[in-house]
Amino acid sequence: MRTRPTRVAVAFAALTLVAACSGGGSITDSGDTQPPAGESTVADTGGETTVAESTTSVPADSLPDCPTDALADATGTTEITFWHGMSGPLGEELTRLTDAYNASQDKVKVSLVQGSYEETADNYYQASADDRPDIVQLPEYQVQAMVDTASAIPVGKCLEASGFDTSAFLPTALQAYSTAGVQWAMPFNISNPVLFYNKRVFEAAGLDPNTPPASLEEMRSMSQQIVESGAAKFGLSLESGFDSGGGWYVEQWFAKAQEFYVDGDNGRTTRATKVLYNNQTGVDLLTFLQQMLNDGLAVDVGDNSQTGYDNLLKMADQTEPAAMTINTSASLGPVLAVLGSGQFPNINANDVGVGPMPGPDGAPGALIGGAALWMVDSGDDVSTAATWDFLTYLVGAQVQSEWAVATGYVPNRTDALDLEPYKGTVAADPRFAVAYQQLLDTPDAPTSAGPVVGPLRQIRSVLATAVAAVFNGEDVQTVLDAAAEQANGLIADYNARN
């Protein structure tokens, strides 16, 4: 009796051992016939051969039309569904805006479904055509995957059909959601990473509390002064979440350095086939951060994608605080609210300083983060027109002004700046203007549009893993090369499947 479980356990162990010895590749490899990374997007995956289309090969006239005037003839109320990724106070504000829209007219009624960005994207991709919403909010790293679902009406078509004026919109924002001349989605909530710092600590360290570091080099020297003066245990708190320090910020730093992150001009002119982040720019950048950790000037709080705020809390830590951190501008509103409630004795809302994200040699600018609104092709003209009507409401100047104040997102258009409540808020609290100013300072360069590549989310995960390894003290070049190889495999596999 007693031998039987043992026997099974042995078999179990043997199975594992066999596998461990045989040394497999990556789970996402397309099989033996996988093309060399970066050479080709044709993959023979055993049997059929499929040819992946490049982004440029989608002819503009094959895209679905956008009948924006169909609502005029419709009778009754058209119900549309909006899937979004706004949680907490952001979600509450979006609900308020939507309620206001529903109350303002009776032709369109919008209902909201909320998830995280990841949930919303997964749910969208897994939903059958009938179950898709009419409008979906997806972050910038989903552009290629969304294009490949061939389920969206490009907003460019709607802009054309309705003659909607986009001259007030930030060009970088529009640019972020267009590939090869097609405007796919409408930027709605725009964020970019900014530097949060504790003015009280700056003062204690003998630094000017109103002058945050302008460059990476200055960030280091200030950290040095903070640590040496004993004003705080650490200068900077770093993290390696895929959607922040481990992925997104690296993309930002590449843009600041005016370097492409993936080939095909960041995937904007031709379909991307490989990542470029293991070049000198990437190595220098991560070596710099690693050095700050090694020298005790910075602290790594790990992967904060579980909460999104571990690095911010490190500034409020009562025993071993950090003086600075980089975080999305979208967290400004909630952060000030929490600190304003007085939960943390060593920092309150007024102590929080906000500065532009420091770049190499002080290079300015930032990539668009946040998310855009996608029109889903339902095949129903009235729904499409109703969706467009709601979309234009959300990106209107007045709504953008209110939205920006409630959330900390950046208005997507210049004429929103002069409207209340944004105008008054920025005048009273210039911290809300930092992220916007950072976008205005963005150089007019092809690198300012950020990478577009199918599995960008997974690529970020891979890089986040690499960044964590670098933070743990491993060799930068080796780690980045391995990550690049894995990412290139993901791209080849994705391109072969889509």
Partner 1 sequence: MKRRLRDVPWAVVMLLPSVVLIAVWTVYPLVKAVQNGHLRCDVTGTKCIDAGWGRYWDVFISAEFQHALGVSLKLMALTVPAGLVLGVGLAVLADKHLRGIGIFRTIFSSTVATSVAVASLVWFVLLQPQIGVFADLFSGWFPVLKNPGLLNDPGTALLAVAFSSIWANLGFTFIIVTAALQSVPRDLYESAYVDGAGNVRRFTNVTLPMIAPTLLFVTVVLTTRALQTYGEIALLTGGGPNPEKSTTTIPYLIYGRNSIISGDLGTKSAAAVLLFVLSLALALVQFRGLDKRVHYGR
Partner 2 sequence: MAADTVRGVRKVGRYTLLVVLAVIVLFPIYAVVLQALKTGPDSLDHPRSLLPVDLTLSTIKAAWTQGNLGRLLMNSVFVSVMVTLGVVLTSLLAAYAFAFLQFPLKGPIFVLFLATMLVPAEVTVVINERTADSLGWINSYQGLIVPSLASTFGIFLVRQVFLQLPGELREAAALDGVGHVRFLWEVAAPLSRPTLGALGLFTFLGTWNAYLWPSQVIRGDRAHETVQIGLERLKNNDISKINLVTGGLVVAALPIFIMLVLFQRQLVRGLTAGAVKG
328 touches 173 (CB < 8 A): no
Q: Which helix (H) or strand (E) holds 371?
A: strand 369-376
Select from 8, 10, 14, 113 the one that contacts partner 2 (CB under 8 A): 113
Residue 32 within binding range of partner 2, rule CB under 8 A: no
Per-residue HEC secondary structure of 31-85 comes to: CCCCCCCCCCCEEECCCCEEECCCHHHCCHHHCCCCCCCHHHHCCCCEEEEEEEC
The contacts of residue 69 (CB under 8 Å, 6+ apart) are 161, 162, 385
Q: Is the dihedral of CA 87, 90, 96, 97 positive or negative?
A: negative
> For residue 422, which amino acid is it?
Y
Which tokens belong to 325? Answer: 């951190």
The contacts of residue 48 (CB under 8 Å, 6+ apart) are none
Cα 261 from Cα 452, distance rounded (Å): 9
Residue 5 within binding range of partner 2, rule CB under 8 A: no
Comparing CB distances to partner 1, the nearer of 257 and 313 is: 313
Going by C-alpha positions, the residue among 198, 189, 192, 173 that lies closest to residue 89 is 189
The contacts of residue 379 (CB under 8 Å, 6+ apart) are none
Select from 125, 258, 279, 380 the one that contacts partner 1 (CB under 8 A): 125
Comparing CB distances to partner 1, the nearer of 286 and 404 is: 286
Cα 236 from Cα 412, distance rounded (Å): 30
Residue 240 within binding range of partner 1, rule CB under 8 A: yes
**Of 25-33, 86-94, 256-264, 359-367, which segment contacts partner 1 by CB under 8 A?**
25-33
Distances in Å between the alpha carbon of 422 and those of 29, 182, 406, 441?
A: 49, 31, 9, 20
- 130 makes contact, choosing from partner 1, partner 2, none, with CB < 5 to 8 Å by partner type, with partner 2
Comparing CB distances to partner 1, the nearer of 426 and 462 is: 462
**Of 20-28, 223-231, 338-346, 383-391, which segment contacts partner 2 by CB under 8 A?**
338-346
Residue 296 within binding range of partner 2, rule CB under 8 A: no
Going by C-alpha positions, the residue among 59, 120, 64, 164 that lies closest to residue 391 is 164
**Of 144-152, 294-302, 337-345, 481-489, which segment contacts partner 2 by CB under 8 A?**
337-345
Residue 342 within binding range of partner 1, rule CB under 8 A: no
- 89 makes contact, choosing from partner 1, partner 2, none, with CB < 5 to 8 Å by partner type, with partner 2
- 475 makes contact, choosing from partner 2, partner 1, none, with CB < 5 to 8 Å by partner type, with none
Comparing CB distances to partner 1, the nearer of 317 and 402 is: 317
Residue 337 within binding range of partner 2, rule CB under 8 A: yes
Select from 210, 472, 477, 478 the one that contacts partner 1 (CB under 8 A): 472
- 334 makes contact, choosing from partner 2, partner 1, none, with CB < 5 to 8 Å by partner type, with partner 2
Ramachandran assignment for 42, one of left (phi > 0), alpha (psi -120 to 50 degrees), beta (any other): beta
Going by C-alpha positions, the residue among 196, 473, 139, 154 that lies closest to residue 312 is 196
**One character per residue 359-398, x = contact with partner 1 (rule: CB under 8 A):** ----------------------------------------
Residue 11 within binding range of partner 2, rule CB under 8 A: no
- Based on the number of CB atoms within 10 Å of its own CB, is 74 exposed (0-12), middle (13-18) or buried (19 or more)? middle
Task: Count CA atoms within 13 Å of residue 161 on its CB side.
Answer: 18
195 touches 354 (CB < 8 A): yes
Cα 209 from Cα 204, distance rounded (Å): 9
**One character per residue 299-318, x = contact with partner 2 (rule: CB under 8 A):** --------xxx--xx----x
Residue 122 within binding range of partner 1, rule CB under 8 A: yes
- 308 makes contact, choosing from partner 2, partner 1, none, with CB < 5 to 8 Å by partner type, with partner 2
Residue 45 within binding range of partner 2, rule CB under 8 A: no
Select from 182, 313, 338, 363 the one that contacts partner 1 (CB under 8 A): 313
Select from 190, 275, 301, 373 the one that contacts partner 1 (CB under 8 A): 301
In the range 48-67, which residues lie near partner 1 by CB under 8 A? 48, 50
Strand partners, 215: 359
DSSP conformational letter for 411 = P
Residue 149 within binding range of partner 1, rule CB under 8 A: yes
Residue 378 within binding range of partner 2, rule CB under 8 A: no
DSSP 207-228: --TT---SBHHHHHHHHHHHHH
**Of 15-23, 348-356, 365-373, 395-403, which segment contacts partner 1 by CB under 8 A?**
15-23
Residue 247 within binding range of partner 1, rule CB under 8 A: no
Which tokens belong to 96? Answer: 């308020």
By residue count, the chain amounts to: 498
Comparing CB distances to partner 2, the nearer of 65 and 119 is: 119
In the range 125-154, which residues lie near partner 2 by CB under 8 A? 126-128, 130-131
Residue 468 within binding range of partner 1, rule CB under 8 A: yes
Residue 24 within binding range of partner 1, rule CB under 8 A: yes
How many positions of this chain bind partner 1 (CB under 8 A)? Answer: 71
**One character per residue 68-107, x = contact with partner 2 (rule: CB under 8 A):** ---------------x---xxx------------------
Binding residues vs partner 2 (CB under 8 A)? 83, 87-89, 113-116, 119-120, 123, 126-128, 130-131, 307-309, 312-313, 318-319, 331, 334-335, 337-338, 341-345
